[in-house]
A and B are shown apart, each in its own frame.
Chain A
Amino acid sequence: MQSTEKQEFTTSRGTRFMGISLLIGIPTLLIFAFLLSPADDNMDDAVRLIYVHVPMAIFAYVAIITTGIGSVFFLWKKSRWWDTVAHASAEIGLILCGLVLITGSIWGRPTWNTWWEWGDVRLVTTLVLFLMILGYLALRQVPANPEMRAKRASVVGIIAAVNIPIINRSVEWWENNTLHQKSSLTDGKLENLTLFTLFLGFIVVGISYLWLMTHRFRVGWMTTEIETAGIAELIEERLNEGNSTVVNSQPQQKDGTK
């Protein structure tokens, strides 16, 4: 698609650059994750999932917080731009959240010997977050007045975003129940190569997020434009409703019709 018409496609120079970086970045990450980085002492080869699992978890949070910020600004500034940002980010957030849950449970199988561990706070709270965004997107799909739907979705988006810190705090209360390897990142035991691969994972997932976000935002924006484009015709149609007595556009002069 070598088109120069920027308005008609969601591609631009920026997204093309991001796309190409991903074409290079993803194979590089895979090579580092599967071949170059060493297996962990106690997690064995399962550690390799961490390189995507952790960055995706962080960017799932970023996506939902972006939805929250977009929602606040939408309610405040009443601009469709922010609403489109919130909507786009929520969809990507849902995908990331879903992938976090999937990679998490794949990782849990060899490590904890179970696909799903109810005792683990992070897994459970991520599921809760996943369900919240699912609700948000369900609301966005309801056939209704777009502005009213956007307003309501914003409130749901804000609530989902404020739940992230709440959920994070709840981990502390639940501390003794978590099976998560919380310390592995901070206790300095990680080797340099492992650390680098994780860093690479962050970059690749981060670019993926931005890339998807830009495209999804542009699709959303186009949808809005299509919706608003028909307005002139709608008004015209409405004016011609009934018959053609629409002649007087200045009926306001008052003459006491007695």
Chain B
Amino acid sequence: MSTVINLDQSIVFLGQFPALTGVTMSIDQGEIVLIKGPNGAGKSTLLHLCAGLLPMRSGTGTVLNFDLQRQRMELRPHIGLLGHRTGLYPDLTVKENMKFWASAYGSNDNEIDKAMAFFGLSGRLESVRSQNLSEGQRRRTAFALLLIKRPSIWLLDEPYAGLDDNGRELVNSCILQAVEAGTTVLIASHQINNIGKSDQRTLQVKGGRITIEPEEPSKGDDHVS
């Protein structure tokens, strides 16, 4: 297994605010990593840094062998990021959103149909404008967009927000499938301790750096598999 994310003493400033104060971590291909921590601890910033969306003030880092200081542009197409906001165009329908991004990613119609069917977006919902969707439906659409992009790393920021039980199960099973196929998944979430894979890891973020890794994160009752 090769290392896909490697950060060494990464410091990231958001304006004058030191959001990350020296993160050191290394993540291997195919891992599922849960990132936990209180609000404002720097979880989202960490994900944005790994996506190549934020510059590092100091430290070094590579993601998929791209240098985070110099090759952020080249890295970005390989990243799937699901942020707090879903990043859909509110005036376009679900299908139109899917089609636009599919052509940007170079995915075909077959993939669109499969992804939409997987997340229960086929049929009536296809032609609903995304501003009229519920929070959970928007999130499902965002996940479908993640699927058609086929990124090597998934960075999921509170992916379960607004999802019902069925939605969570879909998300979990799609994460597991992706990991089977060699994708690396980072999840920042309050809501879940275990997504049902035995060798997941949990990192604790506090004060802008990774503190202790919790000993045994699993409660065992969140399994879906």
Contacts and interface: CB of A to CB of B under 8 A. Distances in A.
A contacts B directly (C-beta below 8 A): yes
Interface of A: 144-146, 148, 227, 231, 234-235, 238-243, 245-252, 254-258
A257 B212 contact: no
Interface in B131-146: none
B18 A257 contact: no
A95 B36 CA distance: 54
B38 interface: yes
Interface in B183-225: 198-203, 206-217
A23 B15 CA distance: 43
Given A235-B11, A239-B207, A257 B201 contact: yes
A145 B207 contact: no
A252 B26 contact: yes
A246 B18 contact: no
Contacts of B198: 258
Given A146-B16, A234-B16, A252-B25, A241 B208 contact: yes
Nearest to A250: B24
Contacts of A146: 15-16
- Of the listed residues A145, A146, A240, A252, the one surrounded by the most CB atoms of chain B closer than 10 A to its CB is A252
Nearest to A78: B55
Contacts of A258: 198-199
B206 A246 contact: yes
Contact of B211 (A145, A235, A251, A256): A251
A257 B204 CA distance: 13
Interface of B: 11, 14-18, 21-22, 24-26, 28, 38, 40-41, 198-203, 206-217
Nearest 5 pairs of A and B residues by beta carbon: A145-B15, A241-B207, A251-B210, A238-B18, A252-B26
Contacts of A252: 24-26
B211 A254 contact: no
Nearest to A236: B21
Contacts of A144: 15
A251 B207 contact: no
A254 B24 CA distance: 12
B26 A145 contact: no
- Of the listed residues B14, B202, B203, B211, the one surrounded by the most CB atoms of chain A closer than 10 A to its CB is B211
Given A240-B207, A241-B208, A242-B207, A254 B215 contact: no
B159 to A, nearest CB: 21
B210 A257 contact: no
Contacts of A246: 206-207, 209, 211
B202 A257 contact: yes
B209 to A, nearest CB: 7
Contact of B206 (A245, A250, A254, A255): A245
B26 A239 contact: no
A61 B28 CA distance: 56
Contacts of B210: 248, 251
Given A145-B16, A249-B209, A250-B24, 16 more contacts: A234-B18, A235-B11, A238-B21, A239-B207, A239-B208, A242-B41, A242-B207, A246-B211, A247-B211, A249-B24, A251-B25, A252-B25, A254-B28, A256-B201, A257-B202, A257-B217
A251 B21 contact: no
Nearest to B55: A147
Contacts of B212: 245, 247-248, 251
A29 B87 CA distance: 63
13 contacts: A227-B16, A235-B22, A235-B208, A238-B17, A241-B40, A242-B207, A243-B206, A246-B206, A251-B203, A254-B28, A257-B202, A257-B216, A258-B198
A256 B199 contact: yes
